[in-house]
Amino acid sequence: DAGVIQSPRHEVTEMGQEVTLRCKPISGHNSLFWYRQTMMRGLELLIYFNNNVPIDDSGMPEDRFSAKMPNASFSTLKIQPSEPRDSAVYFCASSFPLTGGEQFFGPGTRLTVL
Amino acid sequence: GNSVTQMEGPVTLSEEAFLTINCTYTATGYPSLFWYVQYPGEGLQLLLKATKADDKGSNKGFEATYRKETTSFHLEKGSVQVSDSAVYFCALRETSGSRLTFGEGTQLTVNP
């Protein structure tokens, strides 16, 4: 299995631009998670989906952030408009609770907003 | 609510030293417990897990035992290597549900 796939791996953009991060979970996994990691705040859960349905988005910082999961094999996290304080590494993870619930993480997208 | 508390880092050891990273948790019911490791520039990887009291998870020389009486899941390794330098995260998952609650992470540096 290819594992969780994220794209792009690196993104540099200017303040005010729209940013879209993409994630392909492991085939067969039915839970998907978006995290943000920074030195100041550590690892934060932004939102997670079960069976393509958003379950808890309480970690989404504000309305500038949105996430979708149109099907079981694809999810996006969008920031519009982006701000310098959004600079972080964004991780996607997937799991299948019935087989132990451990989450498998992608390699992350390093976002820099200038 | 659920919470996980890890010993504060960073931790610096010499090669072949004994490692302990403390982890305690607060949860209702009978959570599953995990240790994840994050190497520089990479995502988190599952290191080991335990799903019930007194279970011992082990992998790559690392061990942790699920202690319900002390609500702990301390990570140990008898002889660390330079390649073990990474950030280690303790986490729990409730009996029902799929989300994990992570600790703050502990940076380990092993010097030759």
Alpha-carbon span A73 to A26, nearest angstrom:
8
At residue A3, the pLDDT reads 93
At residue A1, the pLDDT reads 64
- Asked if A97 and B98 count as a contact pair (C-beta separation under 8 A), the reply is yes
Among B83, B63, B67, B80, which Cα is nearest to B30's?
B67
Kindly tell me the burial class for residue B89, based on how many C-beta atoms sit within 10 Å of its own C-beta (0-12, 13-18, 19 or more): buried
Chain B nearest C-alpha distance from A58 (Å): 13
Chain B nearest C-alpha distance from A17 (Å): 25
At residue A79, the pLDDT reads 97
Instruction: Classify strands B11-14 and B3-6 as parallel, antiparallel or unpaired.
Output: unpaired
Between chain A and chain B, how many beta carbons pairs sit less than 8 Å apart?
44
Among B82, B88, B90, which Cα is nearest to B110's?
B82
At residue B89, the pLDDT reads 96
- Which segments of chain A have a pLDDT < 70? 1, 99
Cβ neighbours of residue B26 under 8 Å, at least 6 residues apart?
Answer: B1, B2, B3, B4, B71
pLDDT tens, per residue, chain B with 112 residues: 889 999 888 999 999 999 999 999 999 888 999 999 999 989 999 999 999 999 999 999 999 999 999 999 999 999 999 999 999 999 999 877 778 899 999 999 999 9
